[in-house]
Amino acid sequence: MASSNVIPMDLERKNPPKIGINAFEAVRDVRGGMSDFDLMHKYGLSVRGVEKLLRKLVDSGFLTRTDLDRRCTWRARTIIDRGVRCPKCGMPQLKKFRECPECGVILDRHERRVCKSTPQGKTSSAPLKKADSPGPSAGSRQSMFRADAGRSGFYNTRTPYRLSAVKWRFKTEGWVASSPAVHNGAVFFGGYDGRVHALAAATGKLNWTFATDAAIHSSPAITRGLVAFGGLDGQFYAVDAVSGKVRWRVKTGGPIYSSPAISGETVCFGSLDGALYAVDLGTGRLLWAAKTSGPVSSSPCLTGDTVFWGSMDGTLSAADAVTGQLKWNFKIAAPITSSPATDGSKLFFGGMDGHIYALDVVSGAEQWRLRTGGKITSSPATAFGSVFIGSQDHHVYAVSARTGELRWRFRADGAVESSPALGYGIVVVGCSDGVLYGIDSSDGRMMWRFKTGGSIYSSPAICDGVVYCGSDDGLLYAVH
């Protein structure tokens, strides 16, 4: 293997987990510039725990006060890195909280729990099995979150069934939870450094960067020379894809986690102010806004003349994409942050109640549901007659799109809140254990795994045999 980060299948999970903290490794991390925030994530410490660790390293002579003075501490970080993630559902917040506003977990109770996971045990070195027939594809004129406006998650391109190397990696100054979009030889993504970055897909070299006033969780959509995305400053932006200069912006009443969907001249996105917005692609003029009774972090799905979206009030809604007039609502007893996906006849999404749902796209009538062992914030991918989705129960599920029958499930080493990307024969998905998994789409066997330095909430994108994905270690990776 050309990269030490690419783990061969025969070495999978043979090394037992470390217990405690290795002082020499911690010293290397500190002297290498790792922030308090990164130390918290790597070693599972609280803010006070990091301070205690550093004090012990100084008292024992491993570090000096000068070493600490050179560092950027928790209290001296920028607005982007002052954010914290919910340890249960992974939703980033810009300030500390006792109760997560998304999943409702009480932090001090959650931290007292000891969660143990069982290793997968299954490995595979079998060759790629090509699927029977292609599903929907992103097309060549636009690129966006989950590959297309229907949120299929299917990339009509070759997909690596073995990894050979890291093609390149690009370092930012914060988490990368935004999912990359590849378009016309460039990769676009947002970061918690408050910037959208445009890179050359071949080399990872920076083409341009655009700075906003807060972190960016939303994944960009690119079409007709524009890059459209939302920010946690509550503004929705359209910038020039070549120069990175702003064309227009729209102010909403809350942070924007939702990723835009584009169809024709209309851009749709949600906001935590509880509304779904539709704006004109060329001018940013507001066309309509549909209000819900809960924040909207779910990314909308557009197909035909209908837009679908979920709300934290537990409602999955369908509205006319031209007028915003409501067509139907489907209610569950838990928040919906998963982004719906459609295969043309059915609409699929996951709920925080732990169920995978299938609805009729015309009537909103429930077709089937399948219960998982944990809450679902992952968004489904659908093609080849199957639906693929992750769950906080540490599994990736593959179910029949027609009946909801379980076809297989794959066990990871952490909560799966990244959304699967589907290529020919391979499902690629990130995990909170920091690993990017490549899974055989036909039987759920693991084909490869790639370890990053932080949890993965970004959803991968695939183009020409290369997988692009962000990580909480602040890097965007291109692997093949």
214 plus 266 within the same structural domain: yes
Would residue 40 count as lying in a domain? yes
Q: What is the CATH number of the domain that holds 210?
A: 2.130.10.10
pLDDT at site 3? 36
User: Do residues 415 and 436 make contact, with C-beta atoms less than 8 angstroms apart?
Assistant: no
Mean pLDDT by 10 residues, the chain (480 residues): 35 39 79 66 68 81 71 38 56 59 60 42 32 36 90 92 92 95 96 97 97 95 96 97 97 96 94 97 96 95 94 97 96 97 95 97 97 97 95 97 97 96 94 96 95 96 96 96
pLDDT at site 56? 84
Would residue 273 count as lying in a domain? yes
Would residue 149 count as lying in a domain? yes
Would residue 137 count as lying in a domain? no
The pair of three-digit structure tokens given for residue 480, joined into one six-digit string: 């093949």
For 221, the 3-state DSSP assignment is: strand
In this structure, is the dihedral angle defined by the CA atoms of residues 251, 312, 402 and 381, taken in order, positive or negative?
A: positive
Enumerate helices (H) and strands (E) in the chain, giving the number of each: 5, 36
45 plus 178 within the same structural domain: no
171 plus 95 within the same structural domain: no
Q: Tokens 């509304």 correspond to what residue?
A: 275
| pTM of the shown model | 0.75
**What are the C-alpha distances in Å from 284 to residues 67, 251, 357, 365?**
49, 10, 33, 34
Measured in whole angstroms, the distance separating CA 86 from the mean position of its chain's CA atoms is 14
56 plus 198 within the same structural domain: no
64 plus 149 within the same structural domain: no
460 plus 413 within the same structural domain: yes
Rounded Cα–Cα distance for residues 308 and 299 (Å): 9
User: Do residues 394 and 413 make contact, with C-beta atoms less than 8 angstroms apart?
Assistant: yes
Burial class (CB in 10 A: 0-12, 13-18, 19+), 428: buried
97 plus 188 within the same structural domain: no
pLDDT at site 100? 63
Domain that holds residue 97: 21-111
Q: Tokens 């890195």 correspond to what residue?
A: 81
**What are the C-alpha distances in Å from 342 to residues 152, 302, 303, 362, 394?**
6, 9, 8, 11, 24
Rounded Cα–Cα distance for residues 452 and 434 (Å): 5
**What are the C-alpha distances in Å from 144 to residues 101, 130, 389?**
27, 25, 18
Rounded Cα–Cα distance for residues 443 and 54 (Å): 47
In this structure, is the dihedral angle defined by the CA atoms of residues 424, 220, 37 and 395, taken in order, positive or negative?
A: negative
pLDDT at site 25? 79
Rounded Cα–Cα distance for residues 217 and 86 (Å): 15
347 plus 258 within the same structural domain: yes
- What confidence tens digit (pLDDT) does each residue in 252-308 have? 999 999 999 999 899 999 999 999 999 999 999 999 999 999 999 999 999 989 999
Task: Work out how many domains the chain is built from and give that number.
Answer: 2
DSSP class per residue in 108-152: HHHHT-------------PPP---SS------SSEE-TTSSTT--
Would residue 136 count as lying in a domain? no
pLDDT at site 172? 96
The pair of three-digit structure tokens given for residue 369, joined into one six-digit string: 């549901």
195 plus 332 within the same structural domain: yes
The pair of three-digit structure tokens given for residue 111, joined into one six-digit string: 């931290």
- What confidence tens digit (pLDDT) does each residue in 218-245 have? 999 999 999 999 999 999 999 999 999 9
Rounded to the nearest 10 degrees, the angle between the axes of helix 47-59 and helix 23-31 is 100
223 plus 106 within the same structural domain: no
- Residue spans of alpha helices (H) in 254-346: none
Cβ neighbours of residue 19 under 8 Å, at least 6 residues apart? none
